[in-house]
C-alpha cells in the first residue's frame, strides 16, 4: 500500500453456514483486501443496510491507512451515534482497515499494536446440561479437550428450555477436537419470530448455588469456573446470589443485572466479593465508565465487533488498566472467526487482557472463514499471518443464504416479559 492507495470497493457478504454472519470486505486500488466482522445476532440486516447504504459510499476514495481518522469520521462525525447497529458497523470498518494495514506492512496486527505481551491467551468455553449430572459430563468433555476455564450453565428444575443450556449436552461435535468445539447454545432460533422461554427467578436462585457447588465439588479447586446470569436479576437478588456463591470460588459471575444502570452495581459490590464481569452488550467506553472508574466490576466483556473495533476496544482496555479491571471479551459463536482473530490480536498485545471466551464453531464455519488463529491446550493464539490472518471463501459463503433468526424472549410465569 503506497501513500496514494485508496479504497475502491466496500462490499457486504451475508452468509449462513448454520447461523448468520455479516462480513465487510474493503478493497483498495492496489488490490489489498481487508475483512471485518459485522454480525449482530438477530439484527444482522440492520447492520448490513447501515454499512451498504450509509457507510460504503463514504469510504470509497478514502485513504485506507487513516484508521483512526476514519473511526473519528464515522463516530464523532455522525450526529446519530452509539448503539449496537452503528458501533458494529464502525467496528467492522475498523477491523478491515487494521487487516489492510497489516497486509500492507507484512505484519500481524498484534505487532502493529505494540507486539506480544504474552505468549498465548487463556480461553474459556461453555459447558451446559439439562440437569446437574449432564452438566458435569459436559464439563468433563471440555476438560478432556484441554480447557482450563469453563462456563457452567444448567436447566432449572420446573422450567423448560433455559437460555444458554444446550439440550444435547456436549453434542456430536465432541469428537471433532477443541478447535471444532461445538456451540454450547444453538444458533438464534430460525423462523419468523423469537421463541418464548419461561423464566422464574426464584426457581433459578434456589438452583444456581447448588448447581455451581456441585460443579466445584466435581472439578476440584483448580479449574476456573464461570457462570452467566444473562442480566436477569435485581441488584438485591444479585447481591444475595453473589454471597451464596462465594465458597464456589468462581472466576467470574457475569451480567447479574441489566447494566443500563451502572450505579446499581454499587449495591451488589457492597454485599459480595464474588468477581463480576459485565459488558458484552455495551458498545462504547462511556457505557463502562462508572463500572470501571468505581471498580464495580473485575472484568469488562466488551466485544471487539460490537464496541467499535480494535481502535475502541484498546481505549476501553487503557481506561480499565488504570483501575485494575481486566478484559474478558465476548466470543460466542455468533461473532465470526474474523472478530475472534481481531480479539486475539488485541489479547496478545494488551497487558490487562485476562481471558477470551471461545464457544467454538461448526466445522463448516472454519471452512468459510479460514483463519491463522489456533487453539491448543486451553489457550488461543492469533497466528503470524499479515493482518488479521483471515481468508474468506466467498464461493462457499454464497452457498448459505441468510435465514431470519432471533434470540428467544423470556416471559415470567405470569406472562410478563422478563429482562434479558
Ligand atoms: O447473541 C447473544 C449471545 O452472544 C450471548 O447471549 C452469549 O451471553 C453470552 C455469552 O456470554 O457468550
Ligand atoms: Mg454472556
Task: State yes or no: pLDDT of 260 exceeds 90.
Answer: no
> What per-residue confidence (pLDDT) applies to 175?
27
Q: List the single range of 157-161, 163-167, 272-276 with lowest mean pLDDT.
A: 163-167
Mutate-to-test residue for ligand 1 from 126, 161, 164, highest number of ligand atoms within 8 A of CB:
164
Instruction: For residue 301, give the ligand 1 atom closest to its CA.
Output: 11
Q: Nearest residue CA, atom 7 of ligand 1?
A: 332
> What per-residue confidence (pLDDT) applies to 229?
97
Q: Which three cell numbers stand for residue 185?
A: 447454545
Instruction: For residue 335, give the ligand 1 atom closest to its CA.
Output: 4
> What per-residue confidence (pLDDT) applies to 97?
98
Summarised one tens digit per residue, pLDDT across range 368-403 is: 999 999 999 999 999 999 999 999 999 999 999 999
Q: pLDDT-derived band of residue 178, with 50, 70 and 90 as boundaries?
A: very low
Give the ligand at the shortest distance from the Cα of 279: 2
Q: What average pLDDT does this structure show over 276-287?
A: 98
Q: What average pLDDT does this structure show over 142-171?
A: 85
Q: Ligand 2 centroid vs 93 CA: distance in angstroms?
A: 24
Tell whether ligand 1 has an atom less than 6 A from the beta carbon of residue 334. Answer: yes
> What per-residue confidence (pLDDT) applies to 190?
77
Q: Ligand 1 centroid vs 108 CA: distance in angstroms?
A: 28
Q: Nearest residue CA, atom 4 of ligand 1?
A: 332
Q: Ligand 2 centroid vs 327 CA: distance in angstroms?
A: 14
Q: Nearest residue CA, atom 2 of ligand 1?
A: 41
Q: Give the contacts of 399 (CB within 8 A, at least 6 positions apart).
A: none
Residue 230 is among the residues annotated as catalytic for this protein = yes
Burial class from Cβ neighbours inside 10 Å (0-12, 13-18, 19+) for residue 414 reads: exposed
Q: Nearest residue CA, atom 3 of ligand 1?
A: 332
Q: Quick one: fold of 121-386?
A: TIM Barrel (3.20.20)
DSSP run (H or E) holding 212:
helix 201-219
Mutate-to-test residue for ligand 1 from 189, 252, 280, 409, highest number of ligand atoms within 8 A of CB:
280
Residue 163 is among the residues annotated as catalytic for this protein = yes
Q: What is the largest CA-CA distance in the chain?
A: 64
- Residue 377 — left, alpha, or beta (φ > 0 → left; ψ -120 to 50 → alpha)? left
DSSP state of 73: H
Tell whether ligand 1 has an atom less than 6 A from the beta carbon of residue 280. Answer: yes
Q: Count CA within 13 A, CB hemisphere, residue 343.
A: 31
Q: Can you tell me whether residue 383 is helix, strand or coil? A: coil
Other beta carbons within 10 angstroms of residue 192's beta carbon come to 7
Task: State yes or no: pLDDT of 181 exceeds 70.
Answer: no
pTM of the model: 0.95
Q: Ligand 1 centroid vs 332 CA: distance in angstroms?
A: 6
Q: What average pLDDT does this structure show over 317-346?
A: 98
- φ/ψ (deg, to 5) at 27: -115, 140
Give the ligand at the shortest distance from the Cα of 164: 1
Contact yes or no for 82/284 (Cβ under 8 A): yes
Q: What average pLDDT does this structure show over 349-363?
A: 98
Give the ligand at the shortest distance from the Cα of 42: 1
What is the Cα Rg of the chain in Å?
21
- Residue 220 — left, alpha, or beta (φ > 0 → left; ψ -120 to 50 → alpha)? left
> What per-residue confidence (pLDDT) applies to 167?
60
Q: Ligand 2 centroid vs 281 CA: distance in angstroms?
A: 9
Summarised one tens digit per residue, pLDDT across range 26-77 is: 999 999 999 999 999 999 999 999 999 999 999 999 999 999 999 999 999 9
> What per-residue confidence (pLDDT) applies to 182?
39
> What per-residue confidence (pLDDT) applies to 84?
98
Instruction: For residue 332, give the ligand 1 atom closest to its CA.
Output: 12
Task: State yes or no: pLDDT of 112 exceeds 70.
Answer: yes
Q: Ligand 2 centroid vs 179 CA: distance in angstroms?
A: 21
Q: Which of 126, 207, 227, 230 is catalytic?
A: 230
Contact yes or no for 167/185 (Cβ under 8 A): no
Instruction: For residue 357, give the ligand 1 atom closest to its CA.
Output: 12
Summarised one tens digit per residue, pLDDT across range 73-89 is: 999 999 999 999 999 99
Summarised one tens digit per residue, pLDDT across range 199-249 is: 999 999 999 999 999 999 999 999 999 999 999 999 999 999 999 999 999
Annotate 10-68 with DSSP letters as a single string: EEEEEE-SSS-EEEEEEEETTS-EEEEE---TT-HHHHHHIIIIIIHHHHTTS-TT-HH
Task: State yes or no: pLDDT of 158 exceeds 70.
Answer: yes
> What per-residue confidence (pLDDT) applies to 163?
87
Instruction: For residue 185, give the ligand 1 atom closest to its CA.
Output: 7
52, 66, 140, 311 from 162: Cα distances, Å: 36, 45, 21, 35
Q: What average pLDDT does this structure show over 348-376?
A: 98
Q: Ligand 2 centroid vs 259 CA: distance in angstroms?
A: 12
* CA-closest candidate to residue 305, choices 114, 94, 151, 6: 94
Mean pLDDT of the chain: 94
268 vs 339: CA distance, rounded Å: 32
> What per-residue confidence (pLDDT) applies to 166?
78
Amino acid at each position: 500500500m503506497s501513500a496514494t492507495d485508496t479504497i475502491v470497493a466496500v462490499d457486504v457478504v451475508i452468509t449462513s453456514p448454520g447461523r448468520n454472519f455479516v462480513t465487510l470486505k474493503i478493497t483498495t486500488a492496489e488490490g489489498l483486501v481487508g475483512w471485518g466482522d459485522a454480525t449482530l445476532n438477530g439484527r444482522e440486516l440492520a447492520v448490513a443496510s447501515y454499512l451498504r447504504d450509509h457507510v460504503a459510499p463514504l469510504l470509497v476514495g478514502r485513504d485506507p491507512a487513516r484508521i483512526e481518522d476514519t473511526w473519528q469520521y464515522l463516530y464523532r462525525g455522525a450526529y446519530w451515534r452509539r448503539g449496537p447497529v452503528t458501533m458494529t458497523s464502525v467496528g467492522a470498518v475498523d477491523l478491515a482497515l487494521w487487516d489492510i494495514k497489516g497486509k500492507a506492512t507484512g505484519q500481524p496486527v498484534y505487532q502493529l499494536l505494540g507486539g506480544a505481551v504474552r505468549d498465548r491467551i487463556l480461553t474459556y468455553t461453555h459447558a451446559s446440561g439439562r440437569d446437574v449430572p449432564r452438566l458435569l459430563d459436559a464439563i468433563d468433555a471440555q476438560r478432556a479437550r484441554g480447557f482450563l476455564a469453563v462456563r457452567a450453565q444448567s436447566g432449572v428444575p420446573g422450567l423448560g428450555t433455559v437460555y444458554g443450556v444446550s439440550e444435547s449436552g456436549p453434542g456430536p461435535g465432541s469428537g471433532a477436537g477443541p478447535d471444532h468445539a461445538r456451540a454450547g447454545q444453538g444458533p438464534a432460533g430460525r423462523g419468523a419470530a423469537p421463541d418464548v422461554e419461561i423464566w422464574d427467578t426464584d426457581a433459578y436462585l434456589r438452583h444456581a448455588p447448588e448447581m455451581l457447588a456441585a460443579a466445584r465439588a466435581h472439578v476440584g479447586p483448580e479449574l476456573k469456573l464461570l457462570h452467566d446470569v444473562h442480566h436477569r436479576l435485581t441488584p438485591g437478588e444479585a447481591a444475595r446470589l453473589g454471597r451464596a456463591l462465594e465458597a464456589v470460588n468462581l472466576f467470574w459471575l457475569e451480567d447479574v443485572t441489566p447494566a443500563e444502570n451502572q450505579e446499581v452495581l454499587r449495591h451488589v459490590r457492597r454485599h459480595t466479593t464474588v468477581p463480576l464481569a459485565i459488558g458484552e452488550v455495551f458498545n462504547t467506553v462511556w457505557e463502562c465508565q462508572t463500572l470501571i472508574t468505581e471498580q464495580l466490576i473485575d472484568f469488562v466483556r466488551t466485544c471487539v465487533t460490537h464496541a467499535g473495533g480494535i481502535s475502541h476496544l484498546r481505549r476501553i482496555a487503557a481506561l480499565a488498566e488504570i483501575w485494575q479491571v481486566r478484559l474478558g471479551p465476548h466470543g460466542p459463536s455468533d461473532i465470526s472467526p474474523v472478530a475472534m482473530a481481531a480479539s486475539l490480536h488485541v489479547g496478545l498485545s494488551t497487558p490487562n487482557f485476562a481471558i477470551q471466551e471461545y464457544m467454538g464453531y461448526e466445522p463448516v464455519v472454519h471452512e468459510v472463514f479460514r483463519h491463522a488463529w489456533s487453539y491448543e491446550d486451553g489457550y488461543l493464539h492469533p497466528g503470524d499471518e499479515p493482518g488479521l490472518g483471515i481468508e474468506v471463501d466467498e464461493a462457499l459463503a454464497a452457498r448459505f443464504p441468510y435465514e431470519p433468526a432471533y434470540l428467544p424472549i423470556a416471559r415470567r410465569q405470569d406472562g410478563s416479559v422478563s429482562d434479558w
